[in-house]
Each structure stands twice: as structure tokens, then as C-alpha cells.
Amino acid sequence: MAIRLMTLRFVPMPYPYVHDEFSYLLGADTFALGRLTNPPHPQWVHFETFDENFQPTYASKYPPGQSLLLAFGQKFLGHPWYGVWISFGLMFGCLCWMLQGWLPPVYALLGSLVAMGEFSIFGYWMNSYWGGALTTAGGCLVLGALPRLVHKHNPFAAIAGSTGLLILLNTRPYEGGVLSLATFAVLLWWKHRRGYRAAEMLTALLLAPFVLICGFGMAWTGYYNYRVTGNPLLPPYVLHERTYAATPASYLLPRGPTPIYHHDIIRRAWVDWNGESYTKLRANPARVLVAFYDVLPFYLPALLFFSALAGLIFFARSLKIRAVIALLTAIWLALLLEKVWLPHYFAPAAGLLLLPIMYSVRWLRLRFAGAGAALVLLFVACCVGRGLATVVSARREVVVPPQEQAIEKINTLSKPGERYLVIVRYRREHNFHVEYVFNRADIDHSRIVWARDMGDAKNQELFHYYPDRHVLLLEPDLPAMPLTPYPK
């Protein structure tokens, strides 16, 4: 955390760029205002955009965990990125605690240092608003509780594991849920191998933390769902899929009816691009193996990949490594049912990958006796050095995203106190990944309101609704991205 703060001069706080980031920031802005959601805007169809719900309330589609941390940073530290920064500290603290349950303490510390290089202080988990670190922290709490509960009835492990379940529920409920169920199954198997009966685990010492923490967490999550969607059993993400998705989340499910879209760019994103992925996977399910190529390089560059592979192969007779293999199999099977993969989808199980790596490192120490310690330190130094070296590429990749460029143009034209309505007009060939229409939680009190061009007649609704705003027309697909007064 200190390293990242000291390098802010060279790699500044990131701008949001991807659709998902703006959605998480909408959630953060909502929570920072003291709300769980926002009332639907009377002109919402003009503001409709990606990864946000507009009916029955205006809110992010994502679970609230990541946005709550961003809101903390925004409200109390002056910028939502500080929530990301805090989540990285939580992740490494939970990771070290998890590894201490599986490995001797010195290897847990070394494994945490390896993870600094593996996840990279200057990678997208730290330098975006997409998330990953908080989910990994939740997964590490669950996985760290596993070996502790195997060896004895540990109420602190039960509290930590239950807290991890709550975090996973509110960050990545699908992958986190699969990992949690697999962890419980491995716990029963492991206890059985040690001669315990399942009934011996059902003690008040262990059940009380689970019931209290998870019960409270599920009640709060249900209430959040109720406020956002009107149904405690309907998460915002599921509502968003029902409203916009032209294909189901898994390629194994049949295609349903195509929703009605108000804007062509949103239709193209869901029907053409998203639909293409679905169609290709339906035609050739073997394409899901691309998920390994999409996800693994983020966690396991060459040196770590071969170390992890060696650990899984040569120590497969160990009960701990067998448990790791079972858990990795469960999470990978869950990922392979999806039609799109990104590294942070695997975040709940990220800590598992370090276990076979550190088994290999421990073998290195024992195998080479006197030189072993030096080899281990060299290995760790290479991993940490690789992570720190990415500051060069991170500094080179700092770019001002399109919407921020448009804001800079407005700032050169504006006077203090002026407020703007910006109509964004795309050409047919516009890349939907580059989006300009994202608004704050309190749209009407924002200095700049972004809206889609819906034709002169339909745009008049906005002009009448905002009679006191300067109306600008932004055409991002034209040379020099002209920003001109809207011709009324």
C-alpha cells in the first residue's frame, strides 16, 4: 500500500474507462449520498447505458460489495480510488492469514510477497475500479478457515470463514458460491479422513458465528435487493440480464426472446457482440478452453505456472494438495459454463494457486540444503521485481479516457456556475466499448448531464426538462471530436 502511494506521482489515480467501472462508481456515488438506490429519472430513456438498471430504480447492476468500499474512499478520503487501495491491503492481509493455515509462517509470508508480483501493484486490480481484490480477500477468509476447522473447533476460523462468505455473496456470488460449497464438501471429506463424523461439527461454538454473520448478511442483501429491484430474491444483476440480455449467461442454456432496445448501440452490444460469443460456444463447446488462456496468464506467468504445475503433480499424494486440486476443479468447471471470462472472475480462488507454488518453493529449500535459502529468496525477489517493474508499462499506459477528454473540452468553454446538457451522437459504426453516456447518481444536480441523441423531436423532451442548461452536441466519431452548441 505504501509503495503504491509513493508512486502516485508517476502512475496517478486511474480514470474509469470500461463500462463496468462506471457502474461500480454509480453504486459508490449512490452509497456516498446515503442511499441504497436512486429513484427512476423521468427522462431515463435518454440516459440509458451499459451495466446499469434504470427501472424500477436507477442503480448499478452489480452486487454492492465493491461499490461500498469505493463509497468509503469517496466519502471519507476524498476519492473512490482509495477504496480500491484499501481493498488491496485487505486482500494481502487475508491472503497471508490464509497461507498461515496451510503452510509454515515463513512460507506464508514469502507467498504473500510472491502474490505482490503475481497480482502486481500496478496491474488492473489496483489501477481500475473493476474489483478483484475484495473478492480475493473474501475467498481467502473462506479458504483460510478450511484447514483450521479441520484440525480443531476454532470459533475464530468460523467467524473469519463466515465473513468471507458474506463478502463473496456481495461481490461475486456465482463463483464465490461454487467455491464455498466446494470448500464445505472438502471440509467434510477431510474431517472424515481424520476420523471425525459430520455431526461432530454441528456445535454451538461453530454454528453460532455462521448463523449470526451469514443470517445478518443474507437479510441485508435481501433488503438491498428489495430496495433496488422491488423483490428481495431478485438481485440487480439478474434483473439487468432479464431486461437487456439477448442470450443467457451460460452457453448451455437455450436462447430466449430478444428484448426491445431503445438505442441501437445497446442492441448491437447485446445482440451482435454478446450473441456472437454465445453462438460460437453453442456450435463448438471446446472453445471454452480459451478461458484458460484468458485467465491463467494474469495469475501465473511462466515462472509461476511451472512452479504451480510441479507442486500439483509431485505433491498430489498430500491431503492438502488433493484438497487444492478438488477446489480448483470446482471453480474451473464453474467458469467453463460461462460465455465470457476475465481474470477477476477467478478471484475467489486466487489464493489457491499460491499453495502448489509454495510447496515447490519449500521443496527447493529442502532439496538444495545450503543453497536452498538463497534460491528461495532469488525466486521471491524475481516475482516481486517483476511486479514492481510493471510501473514502467503502467506509466506508459496512462491514458485520458474519451469521456474525460470531452469534459476537458467543456472546461475550456465553461464559466463558473454554468451547467451543461451534452447530447452524444454516434455514427452507426461507433465502437460500443467506448461509451460517453454515464451519469452521476444525482443526475439533476450534476454539473454535466450526458444523454443519447434520439432525434430532434425526442430531444425536445430534455430541452424542456432542463431549460436552464447549456445544450452541447458531442460527435465523437468525427475528426477532432467536435463539441458544439446544439442547433435548436
* Cα of 225 vs its chain's centroid, Å: 19
Q: Burial level of 445, CB count in 10 A (0-12/13-18/19+)? A: exposed
All residue ranges of the chain with pLDDT < 50 are none
Q: Mutual orientation of helices 105-119 and 369-396 as an angle, nearest 10°?
A: 30
Question: pLDDT per residue over 358-397, tens digit each?
Answer: 999 999 888 887 788 999 999 999 988 888 887 767 666 6
Cell of 76: 471519507
Percent of the chain with pLDDT over 90: 73
Strands (E), 154-262: none
- pLDDT confidence of residue 153: 84
pTM: 0.95
pLDDT score at 324: 96
- pLDDT score of 10: 85
pLDDT at 175: 97
Would you call 421 helix, strand, or coil by DSSP?
strand
Q: How far apart are CA 64 and CA 28, in angstroms?
A: 9
The answer to whether the beta carbons of residues 350 and 125 sit under 8 Å apart is: no
Assess contact for 93 and 115: CB atoms under 8 A.
no
Lookup: cell for 376: 528461495
pLDDT at residue number 346: 94
Query: For the chain, what is the mean pLDDT?
Result: 92
Angle between the 155-169 and 133-151 helix axes, to the nearest 10 degrees? 150
